[in-house]
Structure formats: C-alpha cells, structure tokens
Amino acid sequence: MLKWNILTYFIFSAMKWRVVLFSLLVSLLIIQFGEYIAEKRPDGKSKSGKGPGKTPASKPKVKTTPETPKEAQTYLTQVVNKGRFQKAGDTLTVHAGDTLELRCKGNPVETVQHERYGTLFLANSTALILFKELFVPSTDYYEVIQLRTNWPTILPCQVTSPLAKVTLHREFPPVEVKKGFTIHRPKQCHAGSLYCVASLGNLRQSSTKYMLIYVNYPAAPPSPAIQASSDTVAVGQNLQVTCTVIGEQDVVVDFTWEYPGQKIGHPLYTQDSVQTVQVDGQNRQRTQTILLVDKVREVDQGTYTCTAQNLEGSRSASTSVKVQPSAQANTKPKKP
C-alpha cells in the first residue's frame, strides 16, 4: 500500500510540472508573435518610428466650426389688427383703456406693470413703453393727512399737465366733494377717504387715496388753575388739590402732578372729569383733576404743581400747603 501511494505522488508531481512548462512555452510564443507583427508594419516603419521609411506624423484634423453669428437682433412688433404688425419704436403712447399687444422676436419678453401706474417695463429689450400719466406717480397707495382745526389742509393731487381738469371725490360714498386742492377750514365731516380725478381729452384717471383724519387742534396751550381745599391742614386731616382747565370742546387735556409726598413714594390718587359748561354764553369744555391726600403727614407739606398739556403745548400752576401738628400733639399733660 505504501508503494502505491509513493507511485501516485510521483505521477501527480510529473503532471504538475508538465502544465507549468506548457504555460511558459505558450507565453513565449505570444511574445515572439507580437514582435513579428510590429516589424512587418507598412512603409517599413518600425515600432520606434525611426528608419528610412519614416514619414512625418500626420497632424490631427481640427474640426472647424462656423463663426458664431452676431447676437440675434431682438425687436418688438405691435399688433395693430388681426394679422397686421408694425415695428415698435423706442417709445409708445397708449391711451388709457386701450389694449396694447406686443410681440418680441428673439428673447422672451417679461413684463412688470403696476396695478395703478401706467408704466410697462420690457426686459431683454431696448424699448420702453410709457402710458400717459395725468398724476405725478407715488409709491404709496394710501396717504394719511391730518385735518387740523383752523388750519388749512392741502391735498397734493399733483398733475403732469396744467390743462388737466381736477376734481375732489369721496370714496365712501362715491360722490364729488368740491374742486380744488385746499380745505381752508377743516371740519369733522371732511374726514374719510378722498381722491382726485383728472380729465384731459379722452383720458380720465384717479389719484392716490388720501385718508383724512380729523384732529381738533386747540388754538393755544391750556391754562390750568390750581386750588387747595385749605392752605393749612393739620396732621391726620384729608387734603384735596384741584386743577382745572377751561378751553375748547373736544380737545384732549392731559395732567401730571408734582407733590411733596412723591419723594418718599407716596402713591398718587386723582379723580378726573370732563364736562361742558357755559362761559359767557358759549359752550366750553371743563377738564378737571383732583389730587387726593388722605391723613396728611408732615412730609405732605410743600408745593403742589399741576401741569396741563394738549397738542399745542403745556403750562403749569402751583400752590403751597402748610401742615400743622395735630391739637392732641400740642396739648401738654396736666401736672398732678
């Protein structure tokens, strides 16, 4: 059995070496065949490119492309009627209400048009179309204007042509108010949303909306009058200091106080009121504030100042209060 294994081992070893030798032989034949083919190239050109049969290498052909044409011309045409076109100039004038149809040969046309303005911008084009504007353009759709009492109010309504006829209208309800641009004596009935309408030939356009807010401006700053319930009070009593302004009706008056107890953080208690009173047979407005000081102490002695302010300015009035010790404090105990 051992002899058989040894014999088998020698047989397989011999076969393995035969396969290796065969592979080397095939590789050598392939290399020689490649060199033979290289030496037999046409015109006797060798692999290295040297020798009597050498010819200059041909340059690769450069693919020529036609010259890039100049930028295609882009121009606008206006559609006059169906099937009829005409070249648009640098500017076009179109009446309000008319239809304008443009076509662009070349790059697409992008348009941006404001809802209220008549200006049409054309992108990728050299043309600019302007619609006839009767009013000077504004960036605001609404403009707030205050109506001041006894002060003229001017509505701009600026037009581009002196020949345009302009009227003033109210938006709600839509009725004509008056002609002109100035309200000389504004009243509360003038408040609201107004606008101007301009007409020139066949053109008719509206202006910016004007929001008129009525503000009753006084003729002068308020004149306060101050009075204390008593110039001298005893410790523990109550004190009232009244500040009164008599002036025009529907005028807001604001009050501020300065008082001795303010320095130590004494809280401020006031009673405010507004009433209509008769002064020299005319209705006037009485605005009043009362400063309340409960259980007066020695620190409440000093100067009380009232400042009244309206839209025209402010004025102040002052009064002094003296605090006396209480009667119990001054009473000395009797000797036994």
Q: Give tens-digit pLDDT for 234-267.
A: 999 999 999 999 998 888 999 999 999 998 888 8
Higher pLDDT, 321 or 336: 321
Domain 225-326: top CATH class: mainly beta
Provide the sign of the torsion angle of the four alpha carbons 148, 149, 152, 158, taken in this order: positive
Res 110: pLDDT: 45
Res 240: pLDDT: 96
Q: Name, in order, each residue with C-beta under 8 angstroms of 294's C-beta and a sequence gap of 6 or more.
A: 238, 269
Res 147: pLDDT: 84
Do you know the residue count of the chain? 336
Res 323: pLDDT: 94
CA distances from 123 to 98, 116, 196, 221 (A): 22, 20, 33, 58
Higher pLDDT, 150 or 49: 150
Q: Which of 245, 228, 235 shows the shortest CA–CA distance to 305?
A: 228
**Looking at the predicted structure, is the pLDDT value of residue 319 above 70?**
yes
Q: Which two tokens stand for residue 274?
A: 């507004």
Most confident of 1-5, 167-171, 276-280, 325-329: 276-280
CA distances from 73 to 69, 76, 104, 109, 124 (A): 11, 10, 10, 14, 11
Compute φ and ψ for 334, nearest 5 degrees: -70, 150
Domain 142-215: top CATH class: mainly beta
Query: pLDDT by residue (tens digit) across 212-238?
Result: 888 888 888 999 999 999 999 999 999
CA distances from 267 to 39, 257, 260 (A): 119, 11, 11
Higher pLDDT, 287 or 33: 287
Beta bridge partners, 75, equal 105
Q: Is the pTM here over 0.75, yes or no?
A: no
**Looking at the predicted structure, is the pLDDT value of residue 311 above 70?**
yes
Q: Compute the distance between CA of residue 218 and CA of residue 137 in angstroms, rounded to an integer.
A: 35
Higher pLDDT, 141 or 6: 141
Location of each CATH 2.60.40.10 domain in the chain: 142-215, 225-326
Res 12: pLDDT: 59
Res 28: pLDDT: 73
The amino acid at 32 = Q
* Cβ atoms of 198 and 135 closer than 8 Å: yes
Res 51: pLDDT: 47
Query: pLDDT by residue (tens digit) across 56-77?
Result: 555 545 444 455 454 456 667 7
Percentage of the chain surpassing pLDDT 90?
26
Q: Tell me what the pLDDT averaged over the chain comes to.
A: 75
Higher pLDDT, 100 or 162: 162
Higher pLDDT, 107 or 190: 190
* Cβ atoms of 304 and 293 closer than 8 Å: no
Q: Compute the distance between CA of residue 293 and CA of residue 238 in angstroms, rounded to an integer.
A: 6
| Mean pLDDT value across residues 93-115 | 56
**97: helix, coil or strand?**
coil
